[in-house]
Amino acid sequence: MSLRHGLLGLLAEGPASGYDLSRRFQEVLGALWPAQHPKIYAELGRMVDGGLIDIDSHGPRGRKAYRITEAGRAEVRRWLTQVDVDHTVRLEALLRSYFFWLMEPDDLARHLAREAEFYTEQAAIYRAYAERKDAGEFGSTPQVQSMRITIEGGVRVYEALAEWARWAATYKLPAAADGGAPEDGTANSDDG
């Protein structure tokens, strides 16, 4: 249910519409906590019903800006201080690595090169963002300082993954495995 608290947290900075919130989620958090607009609009509706937010104003094109209520502020604080962090990680890249022995060495080398490139790029995007912040481009409000910490996390995680992919490329896998069961080598497959 962290989407709810993410939205509340953003609204704690000031009123915003579902459209605004969608964009802000994509901007910085997009690669760390994806959220599609259908979920956001639905959650906003539920939070209005629950009294955590209310409608601040109506704008052009049916725009509705939401404002956090005291109950909403209390709820996001409760989440931050009293709810245990969900430490679930779900990295498909690491799941795949468990099965590298099923890949041809050439395919694996290509795969790892592409992975390293991807993570390096992501890290660079975040690092550039961090540098703009450190240069004072966005001011130094508490909100900006918090965002800076989030960005630093992104940089570090993506750099770790990039280095991992490069390390893995140098790690010698014994052979181009066939995929047969190791205990009783019966299976034989000659297809590609």
Q: Which residues, 152 to 191, sit near a copy of itself by CB under 8 A?
A: 152-154, 156-157, 159-161, 163-164, 167-168, 171-175, 177, 179, 181-184, 187, 189, 191
Closer CB to DNA, residue 45 or residue 179?
45
Which 5-64 positions form the footprint of a copy of itself (CB under 8 A)?
Answer: 5-6, 9, 12-15, 28-29, 31-34
Q: Is position 84 an interface residue for DNA (rule: CB under 7 A)?
A: no
Taking a C-beta distance cutoff of 8 angstroms, is the pair 16, 23 a contact?
A: no
Binding part of the chain for a copy of itself, among 46-54, 57-65, 81-89, 128-136 by CB under 8 A, reads: 81-89
Contacts of 67 (CB under 8 A, 6+ apart): 11, 15, 53, 54, 55, 56
- Kindly provide the residue ranges of all beta strands, DSSP E only, lying in the chain, ordered along the sequence: 16-17, 53-58, 64-68
Q: Which does 137 bind (CB under 5 to 8 A by kind): DNA, a copy of itself, none?
A: none
Asked if 95 interacts with DNA (CB under 7 A), we say: no
Q: Could you say which of 24, 39, 77, 148 contacts DNA (CB under 7 A)?
A: 39
**What one-character DSSP code corresponds to residue 181?**
-
| 3-class secondary structure, 192 | coil
Q: Whole-angstrom Cα distance, residue 155 to residue 140?
A: 20
